[in-house]
Structure 1
Amino acid sequence: METTLITDLTYVEAPAAPVAPPHLPATMLTTRLKRACITAVFYLVEARLLWRYLRTPARIKLAAERIKDLKRAYYGELAVRKIACVAGRYYREYQTPGWPSPAYDTYVATTVNRLVPFRADTDTLNLVFLAITKKCPLACDHCFEWDALNQKETLTRAHIHEMVATFQARHVSQIFFSGGEPMLRVNDLVAVVEAAQPGTDFWVITSGFNFTRENAGRLKQAGFTGVTISLDHHDAARHNAFRGSPQAYNNAVQAAAYASEVGLVVNLSLCATQEFTTEANLMAYARLARQLGVAFIQVLEPRAVGHYAGKAVDPSPAQIALLEAFYLKLNYGSEYLDWPMVHYYGYHQRRMGCGGAADRFLYVDTDGDLHACPFCQKKSGSALCGSLDDSLAALKTRGCHPFKSTSI
């Protein structure tokens, strides 16, 4: 890739022919026996953790019943069928740590403590989206940080260290670094995660820019778990146009290959625009993801914030039905068990509400300010000054914007 640095803010990229997506090894468990064995192991691990945390049969029984109710509220009558294996760890969901790991134990402990308290704190956060830079070489159609993009940086490496330590002390089991383009601060990412304590999985959310083979290896060596790569179309030209860069598609596909090579979990993140959302496009995208051997596909619905502010970008009811059918088919259809898992948060939001606003997750912007989520931004205190307890309480009280329900 030819990239010429002009100033601190401006990048000029040479156009290039689309790379042929490589055929990468699959991460999904492909046989029924393997899936059954690992599922049984998960049950045994969770039973052991319940005993460790609760100690009495009555409390364990109560927690098991409440966990069952929670799963029923989230999945309905569906049961997780698919399991991915990357670098010796097993994953059943995108936003749940893989097992075995301290992060998985942390996640289970926070979930259990929420249902049957066994420790003094009342922390419920499972994950944090932490934006660490305003800088980005792209001009994406849907960018929710558009107004802050390429302004003067606020967060230092010391600030990022401080916030990570603060959230780890609150038992956060996953931290996703975003931006801007966080790979522009790869040295800071490596230093921060190298200094972090066990118990948290770290991910980077990237367009693929600066995600070289060397940098992929550095992230893995530092302790990163995975990478979320923004890829918004299976067609190179359309993705490049959406991202405002002639190299965007090549960068994303190459990043997936480098991440797979070093043993990072790969999630492809799709903004399902009105123009994109057809059955043909969704299945073509899924075939590409399968070819790239990724573990997850994340489907995001566009929101009228940032660069989309004031625009009618919400999917139609028919498109929502199509996205939900895609989610169900890929995750539960017998013929798709070796395809990537689909994470479609909108499906669950419509059924049990939003988990943002410091209920289960929150968003920290590039100034260190707290928000309900990346798409519902209204400052409620800071992660760097003042009382974090008060700020989190304010977030919970204010909540997220009402999520539109459907009759689907």
Structure 2
Amino acid sequence: METTLITDLTYVDAPPAPVAVPSLPPAMLASRLQRALVAGLIKLAEVRLLFRFLRTPARVKRAVDGVEDLKRTYYGDLKVQKIARVAGRYYREYQTPGWPSAAYDAYVATTINRHVPFRGDTETLNLVFLAITKKCPLACEHCFEWDALNQKENLTREHIRDMVAAFQARHVSQIFFSGGEPMLRVNDLVAVVAGAKPGTDFWVITSGFNFTRENAGRLKRAGFTGVTISLDHHEPARHNAFRGSPQAYQNAVQAATYAQEVGLVVNLSLCATQEFTTEANLLAYARLARQLGVAFIQILEPRAVGHYAGRNVDPSPAQIALLEEFYLKLNFGPDFLDWPMVHYYGYHQRRMGCSGAADRFLYVDTDGDMHACPFCQKKSGSALCGSLDASLQAIKTGGCHAFAQAEM
């Protein structure tokens, strides 16, 4: 497949017109009293679930102690304070379902079951990244599916529906549809999610292509929770060059606008390249996200896979320190409590290891093959045929990308 990669600020067509960025209503709760009240209500709901699932005070205490140990491992002495409200539900983490919902209850149940088993299984899988199409109109610099792009499709709507049902049967509380560009299959997305059982939050990961106002409404009515929009620079020309399209920035901003209009949660996903990662760029990006009223910013570190294979793309130690400082400041700094929450998985991965490889999440590619994560692509069975349990066990045995533990 011949695809032209745009590596500078040139365009296949004429340069795009300036993009007007709207100022949208914030998703974040600005009031300390509101945050405290919602946090208290969520805590009360969790206690009720604990007693519903575990029955006895002794078992409840064991579960609480286990979850508190997990929080200390994940956050240390940091306390989650920020809360977003979208369409009547509340969110404290990107990869945790919103409360109140059946998906949130399912998430809590799986978390409890890790510490005090109560439902007769050992399933710990919380979320799945499900790639549903090889097709994409862009030529993104960092694409990890580069070698598969625009090849013949193998997944039918029935395949997607069957995989969703199989993962729901294993208590998966979040499914993220990716690609390629999944909005090219919006009809299939709507049909599959509309027919899914309660208990799972569904998200679509998109560049913004084909994310029209009409399609945003269709996704919401079908039962989607949120949209992750790839936006890799606060400067339109830089983002367009990175994505290989003069319309990429406009599409991303419009997608955020339309998603907000219909009540979808919005996450902006940033690939923090070596060229991008400066303090000035990170703060400018956060200001843009705040202006767009989004709930989350996700930071991804580039990996030498796909179109980046064989290249030195890892952030430097100084840049990693800068990303971690940004994560801590935006999430826990007193001056940023009404700014979007930052999800930076690399921060926690370096401290407690990877939770991919079917421990808490996995990746299913556009052929239905399962992998430890999108960046650790080594087929470990199929989600379409054979024993799914055996495939999940093979992923767990094989493990995920090895991260060196940072010096604490």
Q: Same fold (TM over 0.5)?
A: yes
Partner of 2:327: 327
Task: With the length of structure 1 as denominator, give the TM-score of the two structures.
Answer: 0.96
Cα shift readout 1:249-300 (whole Å, capped 9, x = no counterpart): 0000000000000000000000000000000000000000000000000000
- Alpha-carbon distance, 1:382 to partner: 0.1
What is the distance in 2 between the residues matched to 1:380 and 1:372? 8
AA partner of residue 62 (structure 2)? L
Q: Secondary structure at the match of 2:403?
A: coil
**What pairs with 1:123-272 in structure 2 (closer than 5 Å)?**
123-272=123-272
Q: List gaps (5 residues or longer) in structure 1.
A: 1-11
1:95 aligned onto 2:95 = yes
What is the distance in 2 between the residues matched to 1:89 and 1:66? 26
Partner of 1:110: 110
- Alpha-carbon distance, 1:19 to partner: 1.5
Partner of 1:44: 44
What is the distance in 2 between the residues matched to 1:401 and 1:20? 40
Q: Secondary structure at the match of 1:99?
A: coil
What is the distance in 1 between the residues matched to 2:13 and 2:91? 36
Cα shift readout 1:1-21 (whole Å, capped 9, x = no counterpart): xxxxxxxxxxx9775313211
Q: Secondary structure at the match of 2:37?
A: helix
Q: Secondary structure at the match of 1:176?
A: strand
Partner of 1:62: 62
Cα shift readout 1:348-370 (whole Å, capped 9, x = no counterpart): 00010000000000000000000
**What pairs with 1:257-296 in structure 2 (closer than 5 Å)?**
257-296=257-296
What is the distance in 2 between the residues matched to 1:14 and 1:229? 24
- Alpha-carbon distance, 1:114 to partner: 0.9
- Alpha-carbon distance, 1:121 to partner: 1.2
What is the distance in 1 between the residues matched to 2:261 and 2:153? 32
1:347 aligned onto 2:340 = no
- Alpha-carbon distance, 1:42 to partner: 1.1
Cα shift readout 1:20-64 (whole Å, capped 9, x = no counterpart): 110000010001100010111111011000001000000001100
Partner of 2:379: 379
AA partner of residue 260 (structure 1)? Q
Partner of 2:365: 365
Q: Secondary structure at the match of 2:297?
A: strand
AA partner of residue 161 (structure 1)? R
Partner of 1:6: none
What is the distance in 1 between the residues matched to 2:155 and 2:253? 30
1:213 and 1:65, CA in 2 relative to 1: closer, same or farther beyond 3 A? same
What is the distance in 1 between the residues matched to 2:358 and 2:240? 34
Kept in 1, the 8 Å contact 2:351–2:406? The answer is no
What is the distance in 2 between the residues matched to 1:288 and 1:385? 44
Q: List gaps (5 residues or longer) in structure 2.
A: 1-11
Kept in 2, the 8 Å contact 1:141–1:242? The answer is yes
What is the distance in 2 between the residues matched to 1:14 and 1:27? 35
Q: Secondary structure at the match of 2:90?
A: strand
Kept in 1, the 8 Å contact 2:131–2:364? The answer is yes
Partner of 1:76: 76
What is the distance in 2 between the residues matched to 1:14 and 1:63? 59
- Alpha-carbon distance, 1:405 to partner: 3.0
Kept in 2, the 8 Å contact 1:14–1:247? The answer is no
Same amino acid, percent of matched pairs: 81
Q: Secondary structure at the match of 2:320?
A: helix
Kept in 2, the 8 Å contact 1:15–1:247? The answer is no
Partner of 2:314: 314
Kept in 1, the 8 Å contact 2:54–2:60? The answer is yes
Task: With the length of structure 2 as denominator, give the TM-score of the two structures.
Answer: 0.96
AA partner of residue 287 (structure 1)? R
AA partner of residue 103 (structure 1)? A
Cα shift readout 1:108-166 (whole Å, capped 9, x = no counterpart): 00010111000111111000000000000000000000000000000000000000000
What is the distance in 1 between the residues matched to 2:383 and 2:324? 35
